[in-house]
Chain A
Amino acid sequence: MRGALKSGNVFCKNRIGVTGLGILSVFILTAIFAPFLAPYDPCEMFEPMAPPDSQHVLGTNDIGQDIWSELIYASRISLFIAFTTSIIATFIGTLSGLFSGYYERFGFFVMRVVDLFLALPRLPLIIILAVFMPTSIWNLIIIFVLFGWPITTRIIRSEVLTLRTRPYIDSERMMGAGDLYILGRHILPNIFPLVVVQFVMEARHVILAEAGLSFLGLGDPTSKSWGMMLHYAFEYPTIFISEVWKWWMLPPGLCIVVVILALVFVGFALEEILNPRLRREIV
């Protein structure tokens, strides 16, 4: 507990980390309160391709939907997919990492599966799976989880492998502590900071991957994310030569960039806390 408090203190002193966390909170609150923040229903149709005015802050798209409302609702889809995937993938990765680090034979088999997953190219496989599976948010999440857990497993396992041989674990065992007790009570708290870092990294990866898939037109068309807004903007014939890109293409793109940057900042700060060698006096 004291360790956690100390880490929290170091985190608050880290300007980069606090900035990232602040930005993330704004986006999460926007996603939660989207129905109160959006002026219109994102599916409601007005005059198409209207430039921004007092009625429509960011104008309307090619089928007349209010872009500002669309943008606010899209934050729900993008963040929901990213965080749900990260929670599930990190959970599976942590559990399998714990057990495969602690039980050697079990670990051997799990690691062969992990090796295979890590050797296969992630993005092309995700694309081809998305093509052949019926598109829905949950199918996307399943695909992302499928390729998200192995890296966490590997990282957690290697940490468990070194923790397992520590003298205090040996003495626990001598005193008759059960495996589950040692894993839950002594190993899990020690790897927990690493789990948080993995969660952040995975969320960043999924935001990018989901935006990419949706940009290629492989997302769920019934629930528009930022990536899918960019897809429709890119498909619009005069997007590059007229001025519409300023209110149609720029906002969703910048949202993706800012969320990823916030996650990178948080992850970077967490890594510096975990690895005191990297900790700097300034910043």
Chain B
Amino acid sequence: MHHLTKITAYILIIFVAISINFALPRMMPGDPITSLTDDPTTGMPVIMDEDIKEEIRSYYGLDKPISEQYTDYLKDILKCDLGWSIYYNAPVAEVIFERLKWTLLLVGTSTLIYMILGIFLGAVSAWKRGERGDLGLLVSVLSIGSFPSFFLAMLFIILFGVKLDIFPIFGATTPFMEYSSTFDAFKDVLYHLILPASTLVLTSIDGPYLLMRNSMLGVLGEDYIVTARAKGLTEWAILKDHAIKNALLPITTVIAIRMGFMISGAIFVETVFAYPGIGKLLYDAVSFSDYPLLQGAFLIITLIIIAANFIADMTYLYLDPRVKHG
């Protein structure tokens, strides 16, 4: 029963996201024909025959009633047809799927690293609560978390890319490179991944760190920890078998929810490092006013984030049976 309501809710959310994508350009003042015919540099309208205007309208299906436009739009999405990119002069879906693997690589690696690191540091901090180590960690993590990802990315380019010259500063691979082996290709990709991934890791680590720290502080105050200590268990055994396991539960659901946050962060990091993922694509679409591409990228990013939330919800149901009955 609970599963069913959840699934219905998610289908509803997907519909809302698609509808927003459909409605926004149509709600805005002006007519797409005007923006097509206005010369952007002079702002002077290009004289266009009424017949031609009519032809353009019917080509894009804008002469149909709005309900029919909507069903057409839904049908196109089901067929994976997201329109035609003006800038790349290629189908939007094709352009996006080509870029998707890079974003998934970047976001996936970063998520894995920052979660493990954040949870570990949070546990250490809670364990040393009030001591110098805790305070130092806390202030460092809060400080690094206050950097906007694009600013940290720019600093990394200057420091590691230009001054020290140890990492490449743009792209996901070396251009025009012929790899002698798969290992070489792997090394090149990894080499390009280090700076963008470190930026994402450092700017998002405060989330899991603070959460784990708070969760651990709560658990460490529980009676069963006192009992464990009274039994004569070593500090390490208390930490490993009693504290960390219980403190981890509330963190699990956050992992997937933060995926959305990571993909948003990737928009900035990819832009600064010119990393060819879907975030950079979104930025390009904005700067070139390529609206079909922009809407396509928005739709795909939204769907990925919704999917991540869905997985998080389901995992939590599985991990914490109390939720199911509650």
Contacts and interface: CB of A to CB of B under 8 A. Distances in A.
Interface of A: 16, 115-116, 119-125, 127-129, 131-134, 208, 211-212, 215-218, 227, 230, 234, 239-241, 245, 249, 253, 256-258, 260-261, 264-265, 268, 277-278, 280-283
Contacts of A121: 260, 263-264, 301-302, 305-306
A128 B143 CA distance: 30
A52 to B, nearest CB: 18
B146 A260 contact: yes
Interface of B: 9-10, 12-13, 16-17, 20-21, 24-25, 27-29, 129-131, 135, 139, 142-143, 145-148, 150-151, 154-155, 157-158, 161-162, 169, 214, 217-218, 221, 260, 263-264, 267-268, 271-272, 282-283, 286-287, 294-295, 298, 301-302, 305-306, 309
A253 B13 contact: no
23 contacts: A120-B16, A120-B20, A121-B260, A121-B301, A121-B302, A123-B264, A124-B298, A128-B24, A131-B286, A132-B24, A132-B28, A212-B150, A216-B267, A230-B151, A234-B154, A240-B158, A240-B162, A257-B143, A258-B146, A261-B142, A280-B129, A282-B130, A282-B135
Given A116-B13, A120-B13, A264 B158 contact: no
Given A129-B24, A131-B294, 17 more contacts: A124-B264, A124-B301, A124-B302, A132-B25, A132-B27, A212-B268, A215-B150, A215-B268, A216-B283, A217-B286, A217-B287, A239-B154, A240-B162, A256-B151, A257-B147, A257-B148, A280-B129
Contacts of A282: 130-131, 135
Contacts of B10: 119
Contacts of B268: 212, 215-216
A122 B130 CA distance: 35
A261 B146 contact: yes
A264 B169 CA distance: 31
A260 B217 CA distance: 25
A239 B161 CA distance: 13
Most chain B beta carbons < 10 A, residue from A127, A227, A258: A127
A116 B146 CA distance: 28
Nearest to A134: B29
Contact of A128 (B142, B272, B295): B295
Given A128-B295, A212-B148, A280-B130, A119 B13 contact: yes
B264 A253 contact: no
Most chain A beta carbons < 10 A, residue from B146, B217, B272, B306: B146
B281 to A, nearest CB: 12
B221 A264 contact: no
A115 B151 contact: no
A281 B130 contact: yes
A219 to B, nearest CB: 12
A121 to B, nearest CB: 4
Given A121-B264, A240-B162, A128 B298 contact: yes
A259 B16 CA distance: 35
A44 to B, nearest CB: 27
Interface of A is mostly: helix
B217 A261 contact: no
Contact of B151 (A133, A253, A265): A253
A234 B161 CA distance: 15
B20 A253 contact: no
A277 B126 CA distance: 12
B162 A241 contact: yes
B150 to A, nearest CB: 5
A115 B9 contact: yes
Contacts of A212: 148, 150, 268
Contacts of B295: 128
A230 B150 contact: yes
Nearest to B287: A217
Contacts of B260: 121
9 interchain residue pairs of minimum CB distance: A123-B264, A253-B151, A260-B146, A261-B146, A121-B305, A280-B130, A282-B130, A119-B13, A124-B301
B148 A211 contact: yes
A253 B286 contact: no
A178 to B, nearest CB: 33
Nearest to B220: A277
B218 A277 contact: yes
Contacts of B169: 240
Most chain B beta carbons < 10 A, residue from A121, A131, A245: A121
A277 B287 CA distance: 49
A268 B295 CA distance: 38
A272 to B, nearest CB: 10
Nearest to A245: B158
A71 B138 CA distance: 29
B154 A249 contact: yes
Given A132-B28, A281-B130, A208 B148 contact: yes
A257 B12 CA distance: 38
